């Protein structure tokens, strides 16, 4: 499972990923930032103990403005945000799981 195309729509504030199995994932940029997988945002496990960071309680100017995406090997992309945050590496597996979770919680139209 790998993307065949990654396209950013700045006007819609979305990232669209077309996967090699035909699935198309559309991520709001805000969702990607809110779900940043880095240890500073999600926490980490050290010696079997889970360490969770304090929740980000303040809106920071530029935190939802995506500056760039860079490939990380053949398995992920790294986001750089306008507020300087750049430690989130979004693996293909993480993005697919995020897509599934987002589709399962997104409101549906009747």
For residue 98, give the CATH number of its domain. Answer: 3.30.2020.30
Q: What is the mean pLDDT of residues 82-86?
A: 95
User: Is 11 part of any domain?
Assistant: yes
Give the model confidence (pLDDT) of 37-83 as tens digits.
Answer: 999 888 887 788 877 766 666 778 889 999 999 999 999 999 999 99
Q: What is the mean pLDDT of residues 3-31?
A: 95
Q: What is the pLDDT of residue 71?
A: 96
pTM: 0.84
User: Is 83 part of any domain?
Assistant: yes
Q: Write out the residue range of the structural domain in which residue 24 sits.
A: 3-105
Enumerate residues 6+ apart whose C-beta is below 8 A from 90: 32, 37, 76, 77, 78, 79, 98
Q: What's the rounded Cα separation, in Å, for the pair 31 and 9?
A: 14
Which one is predicted more confidently, 53 or 26? 26
User: Is 110 part of any domain?
Assistant: no
Q: For the chain, what is the domain count?
A: 1
């Amino acid at each position: 499972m790998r993307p065949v195309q990654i396209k950013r729509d700045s006007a819609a504030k979305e990232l669209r990923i077309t996967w090699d199995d035909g699935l198309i994932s559309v991520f709001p940029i805000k969702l990607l930032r809110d779900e940043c997988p880095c240890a500073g945002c999600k926490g980490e496990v050290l010696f079997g103990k889970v360490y969770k960071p304090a929740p980000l309680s303040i809106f920071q100017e530029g935190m939802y403005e995506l500056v760039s995406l860079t490939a990380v090997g053949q398995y992920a992309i790294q986001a750089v945000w306008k507020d300087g945050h750049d430690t989130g590496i979004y693996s293909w597996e993480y993005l697919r799981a995020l897509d599934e979770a987002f589709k399962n919680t997104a409101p549906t139209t009747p």
